[in-house]
Structure 1
Amino acid sequence: MRLAYLHAGSIPSVFANGVHVMRMCDAFTAAGHEVTLYTLPGSHPAEDPYAYYGVRHRFPIRTVPVADYTPSGYWKRAERVRGLLERDGVPELVYGRDPYGLCAAADLAPFVYEAHQLRRDLEPAGTERDLLARPRLTRLVTITHALAHDLRSTYADLGALPILVAPDCADPVDPTPDRPLRQLPGRPDVPRIGYVGHLYEGRGIGLILRLARRFPGLDFHLVGGTPEYRERWETSCDLSNVHFHGHRPPTELPSYYRNFDLLLSPHESKVYTWGKLDEIGRWTSPMKVFEYMAHGLPMIVSDLPVLREVLQDRVNCLLRPPDDTDAWADALTELLADGPLRRRLGDEARRQLLERYTWRRRADSVLAGLPPAAAPAVTGPEGR
């Protein structure tokens, strides 16, 4: 099937949405589809976006800039995207997270809209409602059941929406990598506690630093974060056992995971995107949690309703209240003292990832059961 993926963010970039989009395009291509990605030009200096993200397939990427980052600018860009779709040959299916682009192209082909939050930022007001009312909407993909519930409630007047819940994912990890172990700063003979992700408000960085102060015999490594957020946290931290590594290309992250003994994901109840533009805590599905699972490492994660859609305490992780530092300290102490528990949690997390949460499985799932013109390819061995 010829599939166009519409993305309103930059490729490459330091943001998680770029990882998600490139992984999905890679998985669609692995499933046998002809994929073209329409995206903004890169906001991060990388010569080869395929190498930067570590994807296996070199699907075409068409960059369509925006003149100004305003609704008017995005609408004008959406019309240019539509023109490119017509000139490139109208695809059999349009898929994307770009409401403006999907609105502009909604009459060209059946389309799938993937939502990661309620879009209250779109102008004019009612843009998302208009998109969901279009007759060629084939499927609405959400990353959590909580978001599916809120979309149904918000747009109840539109009737039954064609919603499919598809959590975020990760790729399986090679258990015997041929790359050398990355050398990290700090002490080589103490346990290493890892966090991978952004450093925005609501990501629980303050809790990690409180734990580091309580456990001077452990080294804490935080991988990720834009330069301004890294500087903000690093300049206020006076702990010698905390190491900030800043943003790293996705393809480099496995070499960090291989150094860690256990991982933290301390999301707060309110989670913000860059610059506090949006609050997404009710709907979040952190990709890094799935990467943690793929690496088979034990993890402590915030006990939030939306995360319980995937995680279960003492089965594939330890869940602790995001505002209870004592509970996190107790969980950290327990995991460090109990090797069999660490192995059991990590092994079960990896097993569930391979069984349920790979990008290839997700790519097949979001297209399954669509009309014949948008039917998925048959899943092969790569569909694990």
Structure 2
Amino acid sequence: MKIQYLAFIRLPTEKAHGVQIVKTCEALASLGHEVELVIPGRQTHILGDAFSYYGAKKNFTITSLHTPDWVNLGPLGFFVSLLWFSEAAKWRKAFWDADVVFSRDAGVLLQYVLLGRPLVYEAHNDPSLASLIVARFAQKVVTISKGLKDEYAKRGIRVSKIAVIPDAVDPAHFEGIVSKVEARKRFHIPEGAVALYVGKIDAMKGADTFTAASAKLADIKAVIVGWGPLAKELASRYPTALFLPPTPYAELPALLSAADVLVLPNSGNYSESARNTSPLKLFAYMASGIPIVASDVPAIREVLDDDAAVYVMPDAPDALADGIVKAIATPGIGSIAKARAKKYTWTARAEKLLSAMS
């Protein structure tokens, strides 16, 4: 099968969607399919190629189209750049030769709904007008959580057209990694008990809740690795917490091994963090074997049962602080989560995608 994956992103990117897209393409190609990832020629501050940055095999091709990079000029610049990219992709022979045109960008697929192309739309956000139009015309709609499937079904998309396929991880990448001592030296993390959060530093992801909880942890060091709009504010407000810049995805297994507990503090105040998500960090956390403390929200409950994590009330710093202490004292839950991560591989996910495409 020839698969055209169209992604209006800069690549490499420190954002999670870059990992998800590259790993999806790699897994589809590993099953014997011809995969081409088509991206715009947007500038990125990350040096090196995407294969090295994400630790992916070069078993698929990445094609960068010459498009204007006006995304930073505001909504109009973003729209014109996206439209240009979508048009440029449409005029390539590979677009018309493909058996499937796949994307998680509704704005890209919107122009193709009347062209008779076999479109597969992977939804990651709450339904919008554009995504609902694409979903109605698409051959298949993939959602990453049951909650997101329900949102599309409520808005008239046939349930039989929707496949729920959560995100994934490479469990093998978490075997034979560096020791905790070596990892802490590499990432400049101090000795002692460490609670680690990796990801975007914003309210939706619960980074503010974690840093507030850190002030209540006398003997546990809070470490936040990532970027986001609240980074400077939270670093100033909570000076005892350690803030580190994003690391390449290929180094994530070593980074996680430096922790005593991994924190997944999704807010319950946003649908995209409570019901309509499938956090990549969740599956990486699971594969690491390190105990997890997580917000008690439906999207995480879809994957992890009570015996595999310590659940706490979302948006509650006191509850999170207590949960962190409990998770450190319950190391066995990490092994349970690690065993369950083995069914959430990128290959298994690709097989489900292919089944949906057919």
Report the Cα offset of residue 92 of structure 1: 1.4
Report the Cα offset of residue 100 of structure 1: 2.9
Instruction: Answer 1 or 2: which has greater helix percent.
Output: 2
Alignment partner, residue 248 of structure 1: 247
> C-alpha separation between the residues in 1 aligned to 2:100 and 2:247?
33
Alignment partner, residue 74 of structure 2: none
- Counterpart among 65, 82, 86 of residue 74 in structure 1: 82
Structure 1 residue ranges without an equivalent (≥5)? 121-125, 273-278, 372-384
Report the Cα offset of residue 348 of structure 1: 1.3
1:51 matched to 2:60? no
> C-alpha separation between the residues in 2 aligned to 1:174 and 1:301?
20
Report the Cα offset of residue 119 of structure 1: 4.2
Report the Cα offset of residue 88 of structure 1: 6.6
Is the contact made by 1:302 and 1:321 (CA closer than 8 Å) also made in structure 2? Answer: yes
SS in 2 for 1:197: strand
Q: Which shows bigger deviation, 249-258 or 56-65?
A: 56-65
Alignment partner, residue 321 of structure 1: 313
Structure 1 runs (4+) deviating above 6 angstroms are: none
Alignment partner, residue 100 of structure 1: 107
Deviations 1:273-299 (A, max 9, x none): xxxxxx554312211011100111111
> C-alpha separation between the residues in 1 aligned to 2:134 and 2:189?
51
SS in 1 for 2:10: strand
Alignment TM-score, normalising by the size of structure 2: 0.88
Report the Cα offset of residue 268 of structure 1: 0.9
Q: Which shows bigger deviation, 326-335 or 258-267?
A: 326-335
Report the Cα offset of residue 42 of structure 1: 4.5
Report the Cα offset of residue 108 of structure 1: 5.4
> 1:252/1:181 Cα in 2 relative to 1: closer, same or farther (>3 Å)?
same
1:224 matched to 2:226? yes
Alignment partner, residue 149 of structure 1: 150
> C-alpha separation between the residues in 2 aligned to 1:3 and 1:17?
19
Deviations 1:140-198 (A, max 9, x none): 100001110110111x2x5455110011111113421369534144542x111111111
Alignment partner, residue 337 of structure 2: 349
> C-alpha separation between the residues in 2 aligned to 1:63 and 1:229?
32
> C-alpha separation between the residues in 2 aligned to 1:119 and 1:72?
22
> C-alpha separation between the residues in 2 aligned to 1:312 and 1:160?
26
CA RMSD of aligned residues (A): 2.3
Instruction: Specify the code of the residue in structure 2 equivalent to 1:28.
Output: L
Alignment partner, residue 297 of structure 1: 290
Is the contact made by 1:4 and 1:36 (CA closer than 8 Å) also made in structure 2? Answer: yes
1:365 matched to 2:329? no
> C-alpha separation between the residues in 2 aligned to 1:354 and 1:253?
17
> C-alpha separation between the residues in 2 aligned to 1:49 and 1:370?
26
Deviations 1:225-255 (A, max 9, x none): 14x543232233222xx21111111112222
1:207 matched to 2:199? no
- Counterpart among 320, 327, 331 of residue 323 in structure 2: 331
Alignment partner, residue 377 of structure 1: none
Report the Cα offset of residue 76 of structure 1: 2.9
SS in 2 for 1:12: coil
Deviations 1:328-371 (A, max 9, x none): 2332222333xxx312x11111111102x111100110111644
Instruction: Specify the code of the residue in structure 2 equivalent to 1:5.
Output: Y
1:112 matched to 2:120? yes
Instruction: Specify the code of the residue in structure 1 equivalent to 2:315.
Output: D
Deviations 1:45-73 (A, max 9, x none): 22211101111235211123345333344
- Counterpart among 134, 137, 149 of residue 131 in structure 1: 134
> 1:332/1:88 Cα in 2 relative to 1: closer, same or farther (>3 Å)?
closer
Is the contact made by 1:145 and 1:165 (CA closer than 8 Å) also made in structure 2? Answer: yes
- Identical columns (%): 27
Alignment TM-score, normalising by the size of structure 1: 0.83
Instruction: Specify the code of the residue in structure 1 equivalent to 2:284.
Output: E
Is the contact made by 2:294 and 2:312 (CA closer than 8 Å) also made in structure 1? Answer: yes
Q: Which shows bigger deviation, 213-222 or 359-368?
A: 213-222
> 1:250/1:149 Cα in 2 relative to 1: closer, same or farther (>3 Å)?
same
> C-alpha separation between the residues in 1 aligned to 2:135 and 2:188?
50
> C-alpha separation between the residues in 2 aligned to 1:216 and 1:207?
16
Is the contact made by 2:266 and 2:295 (CA closer than 8 Å) also made in structure 1? Answer: yes
